[in-house]
Every structure is written in C-alpha cells, then in structure tokens.
Copies of this chain bind each other. A is one copy, B any other.
Amino acid sequence: MKIGLLIIGSEVLDGKITDLNTKLLADFLRPYHLEINESMVARDQKASIKEALKTLFEKNDVIITTGGLGPTKDDITKETIASFLDRTIEYSEASQKVCEENYQRFGRPFPGKEHGYCYLPQNFIPLNNNTGFAPGLFTSHQDKLLFSAPGVPREFKSLLEEHLIELISSKMDKSRVMDTVIIRTRGIPEEKIFGEVVPDLWEKLEQYGEVSSLPILMGVDIGVKILAKNLDEMAAKVQAVHHIIETSALKPNVWHYGPETLEEKIVVLANQKKIKFGFAESATGGLCSHRITNISGSSQCFMGSVICYDEKIKEHILGVKAKTLEECTAVSHECAKEMAQGLRDRFSLDIAISITGFAGPGGGNDKFPVGSVCIGQSLRGKETSSQDYLFKGDRELLKQRFAQAALHALLTEVENFA
C-alpha cells in the first residue's frame, strides 16, 4: 500500500511554521509496518491543491491531506476536494451530529445546521475530532482512499489514532512486516565509518534490507529497513544486523540501537539506578534541561539546574571563585569544574554536568574560539573533571551541539554509575 501525504498550507511554504505532521504520520505508521511514500506541500489555492491531488492520486493508494478544514476563508480543502472529485457539497446529518457532540465536549453551543461544518461532499464520511472543532473527512474514489484531517498537529494526531487504521485496513498488506533497525553512533564522521573503519559495512548490512546513513549533531545514525514474511523472520534478521555491528570495529562508537533519543535513554537508565542529576548551564542556556524535561518520568531523576548566564550567578549562586573567573575566565576547565562541583553540592546531586562555552556570535579567544565548550562532570566519590570540544555552526546549532555533547557526557556517567 502506497501512502501519499498532502500538506495544505501556504504558512509552511512561507516559512511561518515548520511542518510537524510528516514526522507525526511516519511515527504513527511505523508500528503498523507502513510508511509514507511521498509528500507534497501546496499553497491554499484551488489550482495548487488540485494539481497536487492529481499527482498523488496517480501514484498512491491512500492519500492523506492535512490543513485547510478550519473556519476561515483561506480554508478551502473541502470545496477543492469536492471539485477535484466532481462531487457536490450537500447538507449532512451525520456531520451535524459529529459537530454537535464535538462542541458539547468543549462546552460551546453549536451554531446549528447553517454552520459550514454540516456540509460535506457527496458520499463523504465525517470523522469525529476529539481535540478540535473541525471534523475530518473520508471517502473512496475508484480504488483509492482519501483521508483529510485538520493541520493542527494535535488534531491531526488525534484523528489518525481514532480513525485511520480502521479505514485503510482493507488495503493493508498482511503478508509482510517492516521494521527499521537504527544504529546510533557517535564520534566518527560518515565518510570515515564507511571509508576507513568498516569499509564493507554497507554491503554487509544491505543483505538484510535498505541501508541509510544520517549524520546528526555529533554522530551518524545508520538505518537498515528490513522486510520479512513474519515476525519470526524479522527477529532473525534484526539479530543478524546486531551481530554484524557488535562484531565490527564500529562497536565502541555505538551508543544505542533504536529510535529512542539520548534524553529518553538517560531518563530510563537514571530512574532504574535511582540517580539524581542536574545541570549548570551557561552556553546551552537551558536546552539540556529542556530536552530532559520533555521526557515523562524525568521528575524522578532530574532535580533541577542553574542557568548561569551572568558571571555573578556563576560566582554567587554556584560558588565559582572570583579568582577563577578573573584569572581563567568563565570559559575554562577550571570554571567548568567549579560550576559542576558547586551545583552538585548545593542541589545534593549524584551527578552534575556543567556547560560553559562560546555559542557566538560574539566572544571567543585564542585558546577557546567561538564554537568551543568546556563540559564539567562532578560525581559523588570521583574527582571532578572537564573536557573541551570545538564545533562549527551558528548560535542555535552550536547550542544544540554543546547540549548533545553534555548529554552524551551525562549518559556515559549514568551508564558507569555503580
């Protein structure tokens, strides 16, 4: 089954927002062994939407659209689909019922049958929307299926979860399963992995499925998309891929198998080991804490942080010595160590990680130019240490790289924590 996605919204093409629905749909489809075949973004204009629908209908079995179902005048998806499929729009009792229940759930009176939401193209099914006002739409056309949902990611997700699989199950190929093994590495560039470290890795992995390689912040994610007749065959193939990696020279650089993020892995492991940690963040400005607190369950292991942008806060709140700041400056191993030590003492932590560096555009010196970061580590019963790194990028990218380095340092300490 081929699935094509059409994102309807000039706001994406105008850069006002970044599309999040492609990732949402891909994440939703994965457990059902399904994937997106292709996607398009069209402007809120009839001609653009119709041309995109034409392209997608030619090449896919299921077409999913997001966006343009709301109440304002630039929401023209319903009318355009009707026109594209040559259907008239008519009053739908079923749609009125869905809308009435929907408005009731939000405690708002439904305006009545004059409301545009009560009108659907012929032979369309209205889909209940648990998280917003506009209902979704579903129909079949020749042997293709069309599923339309609002563009707000939370509403799109809710409509997928409530309706999609049931509606497309007739087209699902139950004779095969699909899964992707993700091998997450750190510390070696892509060219070096496949060129020097394991020159025959790609060929070896390719025996089991489609190989991909994705450089990401401080590492490379290698993917192997595996098809199998059933879950047993899948398990055997997955094991074979793991075996290739575990017996290769790449092994020391693999930090995880699977789609979980660094912060998810840290939180799960720290909670298992009952470790309490926190950050003294200067150059990352809160990003390490933000990433950790996105994870449910982080409140058990993450106690808190000090964002010490100003030197006085490094000194007065974390106890960095005035002498250290004066003689070594704030971006130094000495300062990083005192920040980590100070945070661990004051917050009563098992592990404290500190980050001090130059994210630019200003700052930097001969020893530590813009892009440099010192990452300090203070652990119960171990000597406090600090390591420096040098990265490239603009301010936002450097913050991301600094945070990634800090979280990798934390993961290593959490893994080694006895």
Pick the most buried of A37, A281, A299, A310: most chain B CB atoms within 10 A of its CB. Answer: A310
Residue from B11, B195, B202, B225 in contact with A212 in the complex, judged by beta carbons closer than 8 Å: B11
Contact check, B19 vs A19: say whether CB atoms are below 8 A apart.
Answer: yes
Given contacts A286-B293, A308-B304, A395-B296, contact A71 B190 (CB under 8 A): yes
Contact check, A16 vs B395: say whether CB atoms are below 8 A apart.
Answer: no
Which residues of chain A from 131 to 175 have any CB-CB distance to chain B below 8 Å in the complex?
131, 133, 152, 154
A16 partner residues in chain B, CB cutoff 8 A: 182, 214, 221, 223, 259
Q: Please, how many residues of chain A have a CB less than 8 angstroms from a CB on the other chain?
A: 102
Given contacts A202-B73, A305-B286, A397-B154, contact A36 B13 (CB under 8 A): yes
Contact check, A392 vs B131: say whether CB atoms are below 8 A apart.
Answer: yes
Return A416 CB to nearest CB of chain B, in Å: 23
Interface pick from A47-55, A382-390, A407-415 = A47-55
Return A256 CB to nearest CB of chain B, in Å: 14
Indicate whether A290 reaches chain B with its CB closer than 8 angstroms. Answer: yes
A290 partner residues in chain B, CB cutoff 8 A: 284-287, 289-290, 399
Return A266 CB to nearest CB of chain B, in Å: 14
Contact check, B18 vs A20: say whether CB atoms are below 8 A apart.
Answer: yes
Indicate whether A180 reaches chain B with its CB closer than 8 angstroms. Answer: yes
A310 to B306, CA, bound (A): 13
Given contacts A131-B392, A305-B306, contact A294 B399 (CB under 8 A): yes
Indicate whether A72 reaches chain B with its CB closer than 8 angstroms. Answer: yes
**Nearest-CB residue, chain B, relative to A10:** B212
Interface of A is mostly: mixed
Q: Mark A69-102, 1 if CB is under 8 A from B, else 0.
A: 0111110000000000000000000000000000
Residue from B74, B211, B310, B362 in contact with A213 in the complex, judged by beta carbons closer than 8 Å: B74
Return A43 CB to nearest CB of chain B, in Å: 7
**Nearest-CB residue, chain B, relative to A70:** B190
A30 partner residues in chain B, CB cutoff 8 A: 14-15
Indicate whether A269 reaches chain B with its CB closer than 8 angstroms. Answer: no
A40 partner residues in chain B, CB cutoff 8 A: 38-41
A71 partner residues in chain B, CB cutoff 8 A: 190-191, 194-195
A37 partner residues in chain B, CB cutoff 8 A: 13, 43, 48
Contact check, B39 vs A14: say whether CB atoms are below 8 A apart.
Answer: no
A133 to B284, CA, bound (A): 27
Residues of A within 8 A of B (CB): 10-20, 22-27, 30, 35-44, 48, 51-52, 55, 59, 70-74, 131, 133, 152, 154, 180, 182, 190-191, 194-195, 202, 211-216, 221, 223, 225, 259, 278-279, 281, 284-290, 292-294, 296, 298-299, 302-310, 312-313, 316-317, 346-348, 359-362, 392-397, 399
Q: Can you list 27 A-B pairs, Cβ within 8 angstroms, ordered by A? A: A13-B35, A13-B37, A13-B38, A15-B23, A15-B26, A16-B221, A16-B259, A40-B40, A44-B212, A72-B213, A74-B212, A152-B215, A281-B286, A285-B294, A286-B305, A287-B293, A289-B289, A289-B307, A293-B307, A293-B359, A294-B395, A294-B396, A299-B309, A303-B309, A305-B305, A305-B306, A306-B306
Q: A16-B182, A154-B397 are known contacts; what are 16 more A-B pairs with Cβ within 8 Å?
A: A11-B214, A18-B22, A37-B48, A71-B190, A71-B194, A72-B213, A74-B213, A131-B392, A152-B215, A281-B289, A285-B289, A285-B290, A285-B302, A293-B359, A296-B361, A305-B305
